[in-house]
Amino acid sequence: MLGAYNLSNLLAAFAVAFVHGHSLEKLPGRLIDFDGIRGRMERVECGQPFSVVIDYAHTAESYSKGLAMLRPLSSGKLITVFGCGGQRDRARRPEIVRAVAQQSDAMILTADNPRAEDLEQIFADMRLGLSDTDDACFIPTGDAP
C-alpha cells in the first residue's frame, strides 16, 4: 500500500481493533495478504518498465494530496491521465486541472463518463484550469493516442 495516509489508516484500524478486544500481536499477520482497496492508489503491474497507479479521486484536494504522495516515489516524469465526469459539478473541473498541473510533469485529459453532456463542454471547462506552460493532451473518450 502506498502513502503515509495508509499508515495513518492502519494505525487507526489497529486502535479500533484493540479497543474492541483484538490482540495487537495477531493483527500484523492479517495484513500480509491485504493488497489494499481496489482503485485506491492501486498499482497496476503488467510487465511495463514504468509504474502505473490508479486512484479514484474526484476533488482537487484528493488529486493534489495523491500526486504529492506519488511525486517522491517517481524516479522519472509524473504523467497523470484523468478525466472529469459529465453532468457533474462543472465548477470543479478547472480546479482539478490546476491541482493536477501543479503536481504533474504532463497530463493526458479525457472525460470520465461524459453521460449526456457534450464532450467539448467538458473539455472547455477543463481548459479553464490550464496555464500557457502546462503540458496537456486532450483525448476524446474512446480514442487512443
Q: What is the pTM of this model?
A: 0.85
User: What pLDDT was estimated at residue 96?
Assistant: 98
Q: Which amino acid is at 140?
A: P
| Architecture of the domain made up of 37-138 | Alpha-Beta Complex (3.90)
In this predicted model, what pLDDT tens digit does every residue of 26-36 receive, in sequence order?
Answer: 888 877 788 88
If pLDDT is split at 50, 70 and 90, which confidence band does 142 have? Answer: low
Q: How many residues does the chain have?
A: 145
Least confident span in 30-34, 109-113, 117-121: 30-34
> Which regions of the chain carry the CATH code 3.90.190.20?
37-138
CA 117 to centroid of chain Cα atoms: 23
CA 113 to CA 122: how far, in whole Å?
A: 10
Closest CA to 87 of 41, 119, 57: 119
* Residue 133 three-state SS: coil
CA 114 to CA 111: how far, in whole Å?
A: 6
Nearest 5°: the CA angle 65, 69, 71 is 115
CA 141 to CA 145: how far, in whole Å?
A: 11
Q: Mind spelling out the 3-state secondary structure of 15-32?
A: HHHHHCCCCCCCHHHHHC
